[in-house]
Structure 1
Amino acid sequence: MTVADGLCGVQERQASDVDDPDALRALALDCRPTVIRGHCSHWPVTRASARGADAAMAYLVHYAAGQTAEYFSAPASLAGRYHYGEALSGFNFSRETIDIRDALLRISANALSGLETGYMGSLPAELCFPGFAADNPSHVLDGHIRPRVWIGNLSTVACHYDSYDNLACVVAGRRRFTLYPPAAIGDLYIGPIDHTLSGQPVSMVAGLTDRADVYPRFAAAQAKAIVVELRAGDALYLPKLWWHQVEALDPVNILVNYWWDGFAAGPDSPYATLLLAMIAIAERPAPERAAWRAYFDHYVFRPDGHPLAHLPEEKHGVLGPLAQGNYGRIRASVMRMLRGA
């Protein structure tokens, strides 16, 4: 396991190096995790947190609009590790829907009492804290990309991936991210995709220390793990599909994040394509799956370049640039096939 120091696995940049959407897009093209030191250090919420956890929470309460949200809680004995219960039959935490202001008060009280840990995640700022985003803007993102807010005590969010690029901005407390590249998926022992903690499938072993007998391949994933620690004011650009476990290290922690896909050609998602491939290909005979893998490589992943590079561009037909109407043509063909036409 390596710790990012600007030399191993993760880039480090200063806020002045990544200060507009073009600079962030360049990071996304590189598809490499990048710590951006001081990205949000000037935000009012970060400055409030510098005066203490109470000041940070008071700052959020000021914007709270009276909405309700899902609140996770767990006994302190679990040290904030939110995960499945025994035999995947349930979860080791409780959840309830409560007023956001009440949840903020409970999180603050937990920090003093230590009797439980509490957590709220992925709260849309414009709905739950109207005015917050305008007062704490990230100038590296287009205005239509809306932030979400994550608040809690000491906690460990199970290792998972996102299907969007992620800019995670720490504004109170410290966060430790343990990152695994997408290729580590087979060594992370991923749980169900339709019975999850909070939407995304998670690793059944990451974060545990004594399960080598049950999960022997995890050692290979650990060898690729990268650990980065962010202070209040720092941000992490995390490319889509990178696995990440997130630990909140202080009694009160606040994170603001943005999800987006800067390379979508239309409304269809790669994940939907993955699911369709599962039902169309996954249980066919191994030789046939190998044949389809060759076709996916040729037409989709293109390790040898464009599949029709040997022909003039004007003869590429629907395999020409998607932006020239070919996205719609291919999509219409696929929809006819799905309808059985």
Structure 2
Amino acid sequence: MKGGSQDFTLVEADVSLNGNEWKRHPIVTGPEAPCILGIDFLRNGYFRDPKRFRWAFGIAAAETGGVKQLNTLPGLSEKPSAVGLLKVEEQQVPIATSTVHRRQYRTTRDAVIPIHKMIHELETQGVVSKTHSPFNSPIWPVCMSDGEWRLTVDYHALNEVAPPLSAAVPDMLEFQYELESKAAKWYATIDIANAFFSIPLAAECRPQFTFTWRGVQYTWNRLPQGWKHSPTICHGLVQAALEKGEAPEHLQYIDDIIVWGNTAMEVFEKGEKIIQILLKAGFAIKKSKVKGPAQEIQFLGVKWQDGWRQIPTEVINKITAMSPPTNKRKHKLS
């Protein structure tokens, strides 16, 4: 690469900010220039000086030691499959304008046992039940990044015949602009556990969501994942619960909530109030899905600190690890 009239070289080297943890990172160098290490790497490093003060490059160091964390509050669940039951009337949702019946796909061997366990557990929790229906949609199990499986159904065909809903979830970009305008010092996030599965459906709306496993038909007694209107309905009910409980200032995106403030105590009190409101409403919240108060936090795939949003390091690493396209077809796909 060229910088002005000088030729520069991009190389990769093992770099450490503290002498202990080493990471491979690009460095720009040249015959008459010092090695230039990107600020994106420097900002990821925190270290303590001989006086035990914590430092970082370019941004204030995030210090959470000694700060009481929201995940220590009572009432939070440690169960991976925690499901609540929202204390509302069974929801009347749009019913398909025509019958949809799609055969089950062939599932992978790795998915068979997890699917069986999930269906059994969901049936025990009252989330699904056996049924007979002219409708049918194929199961589409998803293995999450943490190794856990999620039971989703391919509702593409059903979505095509679902009547429209006028309400919608917030625009993601506007959401980020609003959070950025708060210029907060501290944050906390709350993610409701299996929020869709906490919302009861009216009996007459359930047959359209039928799926089949091992020759037995099941349907959802709660709001299913994969249906086009589930995010909108869930967002509205969570919003209504928070408004009814007079929740402190926050931002909500479907089942994810963030609070902010200038001190850790301010954020803790806001988060505690919101958690109490949600639990009282009937939602379940897992300890592992409550973060903060912290000066740096990740929310909806974006890292926030000092009112600024940043791309998380793991996302940058994935992008830089991608191979460049070698032909026109791959270029279009990228």
Which structure's residues are more often helix, by fraction?
A: 1
TM-score (norm 2): 0.24
TM-score (norm 1): 0.24
